[in-house]
Chains A and B, each alone.
Chain A
């Protein structure tokens, strides 16, 4: 589904990714772990198309399409969605406007008509209940005055409604207490199916107790230096990252 080959990325002349390779197939959950500054967030941001990153070498293919040639909104409509580490507040734009405009944009890209209002209402009510969000959240401006946990739940709500093919979640666990973590993890787990892939970017292992990955990758200094199964995450939790780095240099 996603194929990243030899990806080199710089931000303002600073080299962040130095030849990253990653393949994700439908149905898989991948976790990218690594120390701060290794380039974890850069990877998902580049795939989603955020400004300010320069790809100097390499390719990203999503279902055979060249992602780097696609506009930000085209990537989202094709099914590539990024849940932000720090979701921003958008004063005055109601959640419900965002959800409906986004869903209809996606449908239009597939050649479908706008979603009928009753169907949309049923969908958002159902999904916000799953995320334990009061329906009044839908009327509020996107993330405005939301707590950290509410913002993260709102990111997952968007995923539940937009049903991406590849859901990328950047540090979705940061700033969550244990209850909120459970709600968020349940939401993400409900997205798991044979046709969808999930990419988790995380610093800590604890998220992976709730969302068990199929593959764990360690990203150090712009490269994936080690890959393994879910047990790799536990090992990292015990031993830190230094041993992986030493192993990779050796």
Chain B
């Protein structure tokens, strides 16, 4: 039996009451996954990422959504938001808080949306993330029975962030979950959506999430993906974005956790004035492996993209950055900028970075660049020459490197959490919080 067949065995007897179109889609996903099997490193898109740890695993499906409430309070972001919580892929009504949504805004678990069999969900789900995109999207399509469906009517501005919290438990046997997120923003609708992956530190589960985002004319979506999964968790995600005229999609892809992490981010800029900003950060240590594949398709004239990914790699960790910008033949006067900078804190850490520009139009402004290096030794010396010891000097400079991405983060609660997490991995004598507080206090007076 192949690994793919073994995974698909878990499908039996699940959701027999699916609407027929869902059942058909599941079958298509399963068939495609079985045909493709798990990717191997011979596959160009998976050249630097070995998924055998997933393929050789045996993952059950969780049957309940219980979660320790003390741990829940520790893990969740302290933020005033509309919150939808999944535990190992199961919806938790008890931990969710979806009351008081403004008119024109709906946030519901996928299971409810499927039960209600909304026509709009049927039409949009899978439109962007087809089963051919990767074996993992096919696998997700076969299994996805939970997730979140967010719909914003034209002109609605959501007053608080919509917060999707996906928790991973340390159960007796490892589990897999295949959450599916659909965000449909009507014309000129505005919202901030947070996908937050966290859980119990001992968890060793496999999460395979697919997110689809549709932005109608003039819509603005800030999309945060804060991945702080357990250091033993396996995490695969793909995010697919379709942008209409004058829409803005701002992505913040922040990766701190996970043993093996792969994220694909794909945006189609389909009409004039559409603009995408990709901000990425990964900070890995130990033997963590984080792979980011990004793609921007400039399909229409006068579209804009700006990408800035930064990586910090310590110990024997491994990073991959593959960023592609594709400009169609008639997509004139577009602007596309891409930058990837990596900081290696250890001789044994490794990064494979590959920026790609494919341009068929002739009147464009594009630039790309990738740098990988160590800390600036001149700066280390300058700090030490003022009495700051070497570990602290290196910590300050590492934090500064991360800070450049964090400065773009509009949600303070996330910026602070990431900075604290980064500082927490640096020598503990480094009292970051106190420094930041003092700086803020001086600014205020």
Contact = CB atoms under 8 A, between A and B. Distances in A.
Given A90-B383, A96-B442, A121-B445, A101 B388 contact: yes
A142 B441 CA distance: 19
Interface stretch (B54-62, B345-353, B374-382): B374-382
A71 to B, nearest CB: 8
B381 to A, nearest CB: 6
B438 A100 contact: yes
A131 B334 CA distance: 47
A97 B378 contact: no
B387 interface: yes
A114 B445 CA distance: 21
Contact of B386 (A94, A138, A141, A162): A162
Interface string B412-445: 0000000000000000000100110111011101
A97 B396 contact: yes
B438 A88 contact: no
A87 interface: yes
A76 interface: yes
A100 B435 contact: yes
Interface in A91-146: 91-94, 96-98, 100-102, 105-106, 109, 114, 117, 120-121, 124-125, 135, 138-139, 141-142
Interface in B19-64: none
A158 interface: yes
B389 interface: yes
B390 interface: yes
Interface stretch (A23-31, A43-51, A199-207): A43-51
A104 to B, nearest CB: 8
B154 interface: no
Interface stretch (B79-87, B94-102, B356-364, B398-406): B398-406
Nearest to B430: A101
B45 to A, nearest CB: 33
Nearest to B400: A92
A106 B388 CA distance: 8
A94 B439 contact: yes
B388 A141 contact: no
B442 A121 contact: yes
A18 interface: no
B429 to A, nearest CB: 9
A158 B387 CA distance: 11
Contact of B438 (A90, A98, A109, A117): A117
Contacts of B377: 51
Nearest to A102: B386
Contacts of A124: 442
B385 interface: yes
B389 A138 contact: no
Nearest to B379: A90
B113 to A, nearest CB: 44
A101 B376 CA distance: 19
Contacts of B401: 92
Given A88-B379, A92-B404, A117 B441 contact: yes
A81 interface: yes
A72 interface: yes
A95 B331 CA distance: 44
A48 B386 CA distance: 10
Contacts of A102: 383, 386-388
Nearest to B402: A92
A123 B382 CA distance: 22
Given A139-B443, A141-B400, A106 B438 contact: no
A165 interface: no
B384 interface: yes
B397 interface: yes
Given A51-B381, A92-B404, A97 B439 contact: yes
Top 5 closest pairs, chain A to chain B, by CB: A92-B400, A76-B387, A102-B386, A72-B384, A105-B387
Interface of B: 376-379, 381-390, 392, 396-397, 399-401, 403-404, 431, 434-435, 437-439, 441-443, 445
26 contacts: A50-B385, A51-B381, A71-B389, A71-B390, A73-B387, A73-B389, A76-B386, A77-B387, A81-B385, A81-B386, A87-B382, A88-B378, A88-B379, A90-B379, A90-B383, A91-B404, A92-B404, A93-B379, A93-B383, A93-B397, A109-B387, A117-B434, A117-B441, A121-B441, A121-B445, A125-B442
